[in-house]
């Protein structure tokens, strides 16, 4: 990445655009405000925070795990859309950054990301023309996209020809599965897509891609078996393409990529042996950096028994009790616009003073959470455990990083800027 461009984020002026930021910070740059030694107590509610120690732990734990497993990591940048966190991941040894669409890719290029896995099929002619220009003008920039049909290959080829592309765009044949998301549903279709790529002068077949997380959503034996069967088909496709000469590595690296944040242990176990053929296996886990107190806490391989240090939740929500209209009901001032709810509702943990809080969040509105059977009193600030970082970060443009979320008065040691 362009480290200087990331560093420029410290010069951004703070103002009313950033919710929960105290008015005392307005007019100061990020660096100037951090130099005042702000604490959590100065921020309003609702609020999303990150924990510096947990972030550092997760960075090191995942990097060490990938090294032992013999796989590379291109973390999915869509989880945070935070260039400063991407930089930290690259500094920890990440091979590249994964992204999902053209707007995200443009953010990455604005911050000088030099290796991107675009885990999607880019068909927009204007977007392809822009990407062709990026590739032609920057020989150090690598962008590897996906295709899953002959029709898509033809459309991409036509758009790149029309744009006058000089440098072939690298693509991966995407293999899907029944009931999954995108991706060729059978090996015959995938092989036909690979053949079409070979015939398109504007494209180069760089390998295979897929997403096992679309086929399962828990760690039951049936789900793990579905993931295993899918990965076996990915290996079979790789071996077929290696055998017929479609994947030789003569014109560049051969890549097989899978592995979200839920089943990366299975992916590494099944795919890592492909390294003996010269193929690079790349995981795309993105949620590991932030982790959570819900979905990923329950399903992460490093919780389910895979060797390695367990990950720690680095994010918390903070919301204030603003009403107790009924004896068993407290209303918090944070809701759907502030905290994730698609993979489980927030869970109360502590008050800001450190007192454990009882009760259960049973529903959320746009701006409120319904906390029932709780001892939280009007005016108290409650720390919330959250589930699913992808839908937490997209609600915040500036996220305070605390030195220690468990401390009595945590200090704010950084402010992470996001670009959704």
**The pLDDT of residue 248:** 83
What residues pair up with 116 in beta bridges, in sequence order?
Answer: 97, 143
Q: How far apart are the C-alpha atoms of 227 and 232, rounded to whole Å? A: 9
Burial of 199 (0-12, 13-18, 19+ CB in 10 A): exposed
Please name the residues in contact with 102: beta carbons below 8 A apart, sequence gap of 6 or more: 122, 124, 127, 130, 131
CATH number of 3-52+311-417: 2.40.37.20
Confidence of residue 252 (pLDDT cuts 50, 70, 90): confident
Q: What are phi and psi of 263, to 5 degrees?
A: -130, 30
Q: Structure tokens of 166?
A: 């000089």
CB 375 within 8 A of CB 348: no
**The pLDDT of residue 251:** 72
Q: What are phi and psi of 108, to 5 degrees?
A: -60, -45
Q: Is pLDDT of 304 > 90?
A: no
**The pLDDT of residue 308:** 81
Q: How far apart are the C-alpha atoms of 420 and 396, rounded to whole Å? A: 9
**The pLDDT of residue 249:** 73
CB 142 within 8 A of CB 172: no
Is there a common fold for 3-52+311-417 and 53-299?
Answer: no
Q: How far apart are the C-alpha atoms of 235 and 166, rounded to whole Å? A: 32
Q: Is pLDDT of 369 > 90?
A: yes
CB 339 within 8 A of CB 46: yes
CATH class of the domain defined by 53-299: alpha beta
Radius of gyration, alpha carbons of the chain: 23
Q: In what order do the strands lie in the sheet with 280-283?
A: 72-73, 280-283, 255-257, 203-209, 169-174, 142-147, 115-118, 97-99
Handedness of CA 8, 10, 14, 17 (dihedral sign): positive
Q: Structure tokens of 138?
A: 């920057």
Give the residue-averaged pLDDT of 118-137. Answer: 98
Q: Structure tokens of 21?
A: 């930021």
Asked whether the bond before 352 is cis by omega within 30 degrees of 0, the reply is no
Distances from the Cα of 219 to the Cα of 30, 264, 394, angstroms: 42, 12, 27
Give the ranges where 272-400 is alpha helix by DSSP (H): 295-299, 301-304, 390-393
- Give tens-digit pLDDT for 45-94: 999 999 999 999 999 999 999 999 999 999 999 999 999 999 999 999 99
Can you give the residue ranges of every domain in the chain?
3-52+311-417, 53-299
Asked whether the bond before 46 is cis by omega within 30 degrees of 0, the reply is yes
**The pLDDT of residue 306:** 75
Question: For strand 47-51 and strand 315-326, is the pairing parallel, antiparallel, or unpaired?
Answer: antiparallel
* Phi-psi region at 27: left, alpha or beta (left = phi > 0; alpha = psi -120 to 50): left
Quick one: which H or E segment has residue 401?
strand 398-402
- Among the residue ranges 159-173, 295-309, 343-357, the one predicted with the least confidence is 295-309
Q: Is pLDDT of 311 > 90?
A: yes
Q: How far apart are the C-alpha atoms of 394 and 324, rounded to whole Å? A: 30
Give the residue-averaged pLDDT of 308-337. Answer: 97
Q: Is pLDDT of 279 > 90?
A: yes
CB-CB neighbours of 8 under 10 Å: 12
- Terminus-to-terminus CA distance in the chain, angstroms? 18
Q: Structure tokens of 51?
A: 């924990």
Please name the residues in contact with 9: beta carbons below 8 A apart, sequence gap of 6 or more: 30, 83, 84, 417
Q: Is pLDDT of 414 > 90?
A: yes
- Give tens-digit pLDDT for 147-188: 999 999 999 999 999 999 999 999 999 999 988 899 999 999
């Amino acid at each position: 990445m362009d480290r200087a461009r990331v560093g420029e984020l410290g010069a951004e002026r703070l103002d009313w655009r950033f919710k929960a930021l105290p008015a005392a910070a307005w007019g100061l740059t990020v660096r100037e405000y951090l130099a005042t030694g702000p604490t959590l107590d100065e921020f309003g509610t609702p609020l999303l925070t990150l924990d510096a120690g947990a972030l550092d732990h997760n960075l090191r734990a995942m990097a060490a795990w990938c090294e032992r497993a013999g796989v590379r990591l291109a973390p999915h940048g869509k989880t945070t859309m935070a260039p400063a966190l991407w930089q930290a991941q690259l500094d920890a040894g990440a091979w590249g950054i994964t992204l999902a669409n053209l707007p995200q890719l443009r953010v990455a290029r604005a911050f000088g990301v030099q290796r991107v896995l675009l885990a999607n099929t880019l068909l927009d002619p204007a977007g392809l023309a822009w990407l062709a220009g990026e590739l032609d003008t920057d020989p150090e920039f690598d962008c590897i996209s996906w295709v899953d049909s002959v029709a898509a290959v033809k459309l991409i080829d036509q758009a790149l020809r029309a744009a006058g592309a000089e440098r072939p765009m690298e693509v991966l044949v995407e293999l899907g599965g029944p009931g999954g998301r995108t991706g060729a549903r059978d090996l015959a279709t995938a092989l036909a897509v690979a053949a079409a790529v070979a015939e398109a002068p504007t494209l180069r077949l760089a390998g295979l891609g897929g997403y096992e997380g679309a086929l399962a959503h828990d760690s039951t034996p049936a789900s793990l078996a579905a993931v295993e069967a899918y990965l076996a088909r990915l290996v079979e496709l790789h071996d077929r393409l290696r055998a017929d000469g479609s994947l030789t590595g003569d014109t560049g690296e051969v890549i097989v990529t899978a592995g979200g944040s839920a089943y990366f242990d299975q992916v590494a176990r099944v795919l890592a042996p492909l390294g003996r053929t010269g193929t690079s296996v790349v995981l795309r886990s993105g949620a590991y950096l932030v982790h959570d107190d819900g979905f990923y806490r329950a399903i992460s391989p490093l919780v389910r028994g895979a060797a390695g240090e367990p990950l720690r939740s680095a994010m918390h929500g903070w919301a204030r009790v603003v009403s107790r209209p009924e004896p068993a009901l407290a209303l918090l001032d944070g809701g759907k616009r502030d905290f994730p709810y698609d993979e489980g509702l927030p869970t109360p943990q502590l008050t800001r003073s450190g007192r454990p809080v009882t009760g259960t969040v049973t529903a959320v509105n746009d701006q409120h959470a319904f906390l029932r059977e709780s001892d939280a009193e009007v005016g108290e600030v409650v720390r919330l455990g959250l589930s699913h970082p992808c839908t937490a970060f997209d609600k915040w443009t500036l996220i305070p990083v605390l030195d220690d979320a468990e401390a009595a008065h945590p200090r704010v040691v950084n402010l992470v800027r996001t670009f959704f």
